[in-house]
Amino acid sequence: MQRSKYAPVLLFVGLFLLACALAGAAIFLSTMGSGRGEITAVVRTQPTSTSQASVLPAADTPTATITPVPVRDAAPVVTPTPASNDSPLPPDPSPTPARALTTEQVLADTDVPVRDRLDLAQRFKLSDQPIPAVVNPITPAYQVGDQESFWVGESDTLRHFQVTATLRYVGSHSYWWLEDGSDEADKVTDSEMAASAEAFENTIYPTNRAFFGTEWSPGVDNDPRVHVFIGDVPGVGGYFYSINEYSNLINPYSNEKEMFFINIRAARPGSDRLDSILAHEFQHMIHWYNDANEETWVNEGLSELAMTLNGYDTGGTERAFAQTPDTQLNTWGRRPIHNSTPGVIHPTSRSRTTEEASYS
């Protein structure tokens, strides 16, 4: 049988159509099977006359071309996952103590600094010059008959005035000065000065040191002796004022000495009254050096004890308390209140604070 000359062409066309059909079926099935998109048929047709009826196209009439258009996948919606925090929670910054401390425990654990005038003056730069703790490079050499100017304080008005005094006695531990120009001081004899000076040197000085400790020695003036001024000291029997333990660059009224002031109109040299005041005030001087933060009522009580230890009358304080037993003993006035009855000193007449001044 003779093969037609168009057989190869027909075979090629048949295979081509078959391949196109298979490819289209594969695309259709894959799109439908994925479930992610849709096939939209785009039909391009040859416009026809509205007067003609719709008929099936002939074999050589262009046919509609179906082009599958897949819809792109929508972007997935991602729900953020909170970051895990594996670190432990910080501890409570202020845990409540099991038991609150008592006032006594708080005070026992608290270190209250001493009000050091030298340290404060240096830190606050109160002077353009260096402020020395000890004002004399060498020990002064005073002799009987020397004269010196002193600042005297008046407790009632809180003023200071300057006077001149003459050195009347020099002991192993003390200098004794008597104010010049005072009518009462002019009546004092050398034997009276010596009597009180020897009582201090032989009894008061060793007794107070044995019971209460030592004063600052050689002290601000670089001299182991203390100074006793006797003259007109208004409003008090006597006093110790700690400002004298500092340079006058800190306080211009400082005498720059370890010093006591005795009012000659309240206590005459050679009397137990003057000696008892010295016993009282010397304890204050010792206490200031060893514990300047002491409560006033404790310090004053120890000065009364110093008077008793040295064999002197305390001036009737126990009788005054017996008459007014409601008097509070552990709270003292800021300013001294002096008793008008001679020989009787109420607690409020003693001192303002240990660090400032102690009055008798």
Residue type, 345: I
Out of 12-26, 27-41, 79-93, 291-305, the most confident range is 291-305
Name, of 38-42, 62-66, 155-159, 329-333, the range with top average pLDDT.
Answer: 155-159
Residue 31 has pLDDT above 80, yes or no: no
Residues 289/216, Cβ–Cβ less than 8 Å: yes
Q: What is the pLDDT of residue 144?
A: 97
The predicted pLDDT at position 81 comes to 54
Task: Determine the average pLDDT of the residues in 215-242.
Answer: 96
Residue of higher predicted confidence among 185 and 358: 185
252 to 119, 126, 234, 247, 359: CA distances (angstroms): 17, 12, 20, 8, 21
For strand 226-231 and strand 238-241, is the pairing parallel, antiparallel, or unpaired? unpaired
Please enumerate in sequence order all residues whose Cβ is within 8 A of that of 153, keeping only pairs 6 or more positions apart, or say none: 159, 160, 233, 239, 241, 253, 261, 357
Whole-Å CA distances, 119 to 97, 116, 126: 37, 5, 11
Q: What does the pLDDT look like over 130-167, one tens digit per residue?
A: 899 999 999 999 999 999 999 999 988 889 999 999 99
The pairing of beta strand 159-170 with beta strand 226-231: unpaired
The whole-number pLDDT of residue 5 equals 64
Predicted local confidence at residue 220, as pLDDT: 97
Question: How confident is the model over 179-221, as pLDDT tens digits?
Answer: 999 999 999 999 999 999 999 999 999 999 999 999 999 999 9
Arithmetic mean of pLDDT over the chain: 79
Structural domain spans, the chain: 138-321+329-359
Burial annotation 135-150 (CB, 10 A radius, 16+ → b, else e): beeeeeeeeeeeebeb
| Paired tokens of 123 | 């830190």
Per-residue pLDDT tens for 239-298?
999 999 999 999 999 999 999 999 999 999 999 999 999 999 999 999 999 999 888 899
* Mean pLDDT confidence for 112-126: 82
